[in-house]
Amino acid sequence: MTTTIISAKLTLEQFLELPETKPASEYINGEKLLKPMPQGEHSLLQSKLCSRINRVTENPKIAYAFPELRCTFAGASIVPDVAVFLWERIPRQASGRIQNRFETYPDWTIEIISPDQSQMRVTRNILHCLNNGTELGWLIDPNEELVLVFAPGEQPQLFDRPQDRLPLPECLSHLHSDLQLSVRDLFGWLSL
């Protein structure tokens, strides 16, 4: 289930003209990369994170968490497992209806490692986001039950003790009590 390169070098414009694939393909450094198909733990964590974030942020129109949303910006087209956008940054048409193409970075990006997936490729996606405006990135490893948290200009932080509280983006810090998760909370979702 490794991420595979499925074509020779092409331009971003050429990549965007290609039909979507399942699982999704990403465009990084001139290459089309196929993401691995999500499995059980990955899908459950992704679903629970989107649900938890949206339960707190959607109705007050603060932010929205999108699963598997293509984000095209700064010469790359990536599909984070969870892309969180502040409400006012969600791309909209003149009518107010949401746009299909998101040609901007997420405010918070969350990636969940699947078995046999390259941690370096996923880390590269997070770093691309951080280098282009994203405030925070989480890299979740269900197998190791740890989370690496990335912030622009800072050393990554490792959270692997059950009581460790996972940091939130500054733009959502006022929701601390409603949105805060510990490592135990996050991986506890895997036991249905």
Distance CA 49, CA 111 (A): 11
The domain spans of the chain are: 38-188
Using CA atoms, how far residue 117 sits from 1, 36, 177, in Å, is: 6, 7, 33
Distance CA 18, CA 16 (A): 5
Please give the torsion angle defined by the CA atoms of residues 155, 160, 162 and 165, in that order, rounded to the nearest 10 degrees: 10
Q: Are residues 65 and 56 in contact, defined by beta-carbon separation less than 8 angstroms?
A: no
Distance CA 35, CA 188 (A): 26
Per DSSP, the three-state class of 21 is: coil
CATH number of 38-188: 3.90.1570.10
Distance CA 125, CA 80 (A): 8
Sheet holding 157-159, edge to edge: 63-67, 82-86, 108-112, 136-141, 146-150, 157-159
Distance CA 76, CA 132 (A): 11
Q: What is the pLDDT along the chain (192 residues), one digit of tens a residue?
A: 344 444 468 899 999 999 988 889 999 888 898 888 888 999 999 999 999 999 999 999 999 999 999 999 999 999 999 999 999 999 999 999 999 999 999 999 999 998 878 899 899 999 999 999 999 999 999 999 999 999 999 999 999 999 999 999 998 988 777 899 999 999 999 997
Tokens standing for 136? 């925070």
Q: What are phi and psi of 42, to 5 degrees?
A: -60, -50
Using CA atoms, how far residue 89 sits from 32, 51, 56, in Å, is: 27, 20, 17
- Whether the full predicted model's pTM is greater than 0.85, yes or no, is yes
Residues 6+ apart with CB under 8 A from 185: none
